[in-house]
């Protein structure tokens, strides 16, 4: 009888110790899982922050690029308007002028043609010459495309 009770207690004690041990093991495993999850979450947050920063930088770069292109397109409009003005300024008739001052107009037209050809070269990526870069006066610039040919020239009337 006594030995049976002792055996039951022994079994209960062993079961209790084993149960406690398993519980501790489970807690440790849970702890390890939680730690791993924490690390993953922190990494994910850091990655998200990086992505957001990159998106912000991309957005700024796109805005800057758009601004530059808009400025360029406005310059194009102005160049075309200036070209029209040169032909029609003060009711100018280039045909009549060519009849009256043939040689002078021929010289102007040839100079304009050369300037326009230079504009094409620059637009296709040619390097600026020293003279083009230094030009700040109206008399020094390429009037066909001053914004492109003479970056240091500031328009004045």
Footprint of another protein (CB under 8 A):
54, 57-58, 61-62, 65, 68-69, 72-73, 76, 79-80, 83-84, 87, 93-95, 98-99, 102, 105-106, 109-110, 112-114, 116-127, 144-145, 148
Cβ proximity to another protein, 14 vs 52, nearer residue: 52
Cβ 109 to another protein shortest distance, Å: 5
Tell me the longest C-alpha to C-alpha distance in the chain.
142
Cβ 56 to another protein shortest distance, Å: 12
**101 token code pair:** 């001052």
Cβ proximity to another protein, 65 vs 137, nearer residue: 65
Cβ proximity to another protein, 113 vs 151, nearer residue: 113
Residues 148, 121 contacting (CB under 8 angstroms): no
Cβ 79 to another protein shortest distance, Å: 6
* 87 Cβ contact list (under 8 Å, min separation 6): 94
**94 token code pair:** 């280039």
Residue 79, Cβ density class (10 Å: 0-12 exposed, 13-18 middle, ≥19 buried): middle
Cβ 120 to another protein shortest distance, Å: 5
CA–CA dist 100, 86 (Å, integer): 18
């Amino acid at each position: 009888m006594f030995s049976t009770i002792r055996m039951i207690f022994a079994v209960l004690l062993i079961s209790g110790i084993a149960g406690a041990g398993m519980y501790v093991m489970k807690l440790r495993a849970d702890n390890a899982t939680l730690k791993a999850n924490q690390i993953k979450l922190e990494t994910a947050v850091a990655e998200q922050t990086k992505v957001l920063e990159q998106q912000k930088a991309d957005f700024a770069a796109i805005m800057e690029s758009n601004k530059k292109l808009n400025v360029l397109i406005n310059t194009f409009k102005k160049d075309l308007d200036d070209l029209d003005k040169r032909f029609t300024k003060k009711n100018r008739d280039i045909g009549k002028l060519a009849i009256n001052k043939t040689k002078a107009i021929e010289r102007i037209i040839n100079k304009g043609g050369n300037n326009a050809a230079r504009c094409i070269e620059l637009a296709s990526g040619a390097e600026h010459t020293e003279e083009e870069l230094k030009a700040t006066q109206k008399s020094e610039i390429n009037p066909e495309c001053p914004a492109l040919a003479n970056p240091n020239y500031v328009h004045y009337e």
